Amino acid sequence: MKHVILGLAVLTGLALARQRPEDVIKGQCEKAEVVAELWHGFTGGAPKTALENLVIEFNRTQGSQVCVRPISQGNYRDLSTKIKAAFTSGKVPAMAQAFENNMALYLESDALVPMSAIGVDLKGVNPLFVNAVTFNRQVYGVPFNKSVQLLYYNRDLLKKHGARVPLTIAEFIATARRISQEEKAPVYFFQPDTSTFSYWFFTLGGSYFQNGRLVLNSPKAAEVQTAER
């Protein structure tokens, strides 16, 4: 009999291990009193798996009271399109993943609620991440997943020109310009895309939302455009 029980236990464990995360979450939410939809832009791979595993662990801590149900809306562009449509229809999900770039546009709707209104504490979170989702001194998002830019540098080239590794955007621009002039050729390369603009813009303290209006040609925006050129 002991061997039979052991065998059943192993088979049960294997069955649980083979359950898809979405099936586990579905089962959790079927028993919950409150289900909160979380729209996201992950279509597969490690990001989607990590999110689902995190949700499963969170739901387990809530018993049968609250359940978060993540729902993929396609890629990031699909997600943004569907969020805008949700604002128009008035059927907005409880939570949604969003780029900081889009937050100012979403604020044109009255559907967003500041984090302070629901008691979210963001102490200890990188202030740059929090600043990116802060508008009119109100925090409207929780840093969810971040792409962080890295600086690769040529130690020998810096040593040759008596320069140190730049620690700020201003130092990076000044150092790159000086060495490029001395080398008579460009010595820095990066992709000046929308993401790069937004990273530099928010790092310099810029904001797309000022005095209740969307502003794209602020002094900080002009400064970033000059730096990228």
Per-residue pLDDT of the chain (229 residues; tens, 9 = 90+): 333 444 444 444 445 456 899 999 999 999 899 999 999 999 989 999 999 999 999 999 998 899 999 999 999 889 999 998 998 888 888 889 888 777 777 887 777 888 878 788 888 888 878 888 888 888 888 877 777 777 889 999 999 999 999 988 789 889 999 999 999 998 887 666 777 777 777 777 777 777 777 777 777 777 776 666 6
Q: What is the pTM of this model?
A: 0.61
> Which tokens in the block code for residue 140?
């409207």
Buried b (16+ CB within 10 A) or exposed e, 46-59: eebeebbeebbeeb
Count of helices and strands (H, E) across the chain: 10, 7
Q: What is the largest CA-CA distance in the chain?
A: 83
Q: How far, in Å, CA of 204 to CA of 151, rounded? A: 17
Alpha-carbon span 140 to 113, nearest angstrom? 7
Catalogue all structural domains in the chain, each as residue range(s) with its CATH number. Answer: 18-139 (3.40.190.10), 155-228 (no CATH)
Structural contact between residues 163 and 172, judged by C-beta atoms closer than 8 angstroms:
no
C-beta of residue 133 within 8 angstroms of C-beta of residue 209: no
Rounded Cα–Cα distance for residues 217 and 180 (Å): 29
How many CB atoms neighbour CB 100 within 10 A? 21
Is residue 86 a contact partner of residue 104, using CB atoms and an 8 Å limit? no
